[in-house]
Structure 1
Amino acid sequence: MTTNPPSGAMPNGDELSAWLQAVAAHQDRQAFAAVFKHFAPRVKAYLMRLGSPEGLAEELMQETMVSVWRKAALYDAAHAGVSTWIFTIARNLRVDQLRRKGQALGADAGECDADALEDTAPQPDELLSIQERETRLRDALRQLSQEQAHILRLSFFEEHPHARIAQELGIPLGTVKSRVRLAIHHLRRLLGALEP
Structure 2
Amino acid sequence: MSHPELEQDPLFHDRLIEAVALRRDRDAFAHLFNHFAPRLKAWLIRSGAAPGAAEDFAQDAMLTVWRKADLFDPRKARAATWIFTIARNRRLDALRRDARPLPTPEIELAGEAVLRPDEILSMSEDTERVREALSRLSREQVEVLRFAFFLESPHSEIALHLNLPLGTVKSRIRNAMIKLRLILQPSREAPR
The two structures have a TM-score, normalised by structure 2, of 0.51
**Does residue 30 in structure 1 map to residue 27 in structure 2?**
yes
2:132 aligns to what? none
1:106 to 89, 101, 107: 101
What is the RMSD of the two structures over their aligned residues, measured on CA atoms? 2.0
Mapping of 1:80-99 within 5 angstroms? 80-99=77-96
CA distance in 2, matches of 1:68, 1:12: 20
SS in 2 for 1:38: helix
CA distance in 1, matches of 2:101, 2:88: 22
SS in 1 for 2:101: helix
Q: Which amino acid aligns with 2:101?
A: G
2:2 aligns to what? 4
CA distance in 2, matches of 1:11, 1:44: 23
1:106 offset after TM fit, Å? Answer: 2.5
2:174 aligns to what? none
1:66 aligns to what? 63
Task: Check whether the contact 1:47–1:57 (CA below 8 A) recurs between aligned residues.
Answer: yes
SS in 1 for 2:75: coil
Select the structure of larger CA radius of gyration: 2
CA distance in 2, matches of 1:32, 1:17: 11
SS in 2 for 1:106: coil
1:36 offset after TM fit, Å? Answer: 0.5
CA distance in 1, matches of 2:8, 2:89: 25
Deviations 1:39-93 (A, max 9, x none): 0000001111110000100111110000000010000000000000000000000
Distance 1:11 1:61, change over 3 A: farther
Task: Check whether the contact 1:13–1:82 (CA below 8 A) recurs between aligned residues.
Answer: no
SS in 1 for 2:2: coil
Q: Percent identity?
A: 45
SS in 1 for 2:11: helix
2:43 to 43, 46, 51: 46
Gaps in structure 1 of 5+ consecutive residues: 112-196
CA distance in 2, matches of 1:25, 1:106: 41
Give the structure, 1 or 2, with the largest relative contact order (CA under 8 Å, sep 6 or more): 1
Task: Check whether the contact 2:11–2:78 (CA below 8 A) recurs between aligned residues.
Answer: no
Gaps in structure 2 of 5+ consecutive residues: 105-192
SS in 2 for 1:6: coil
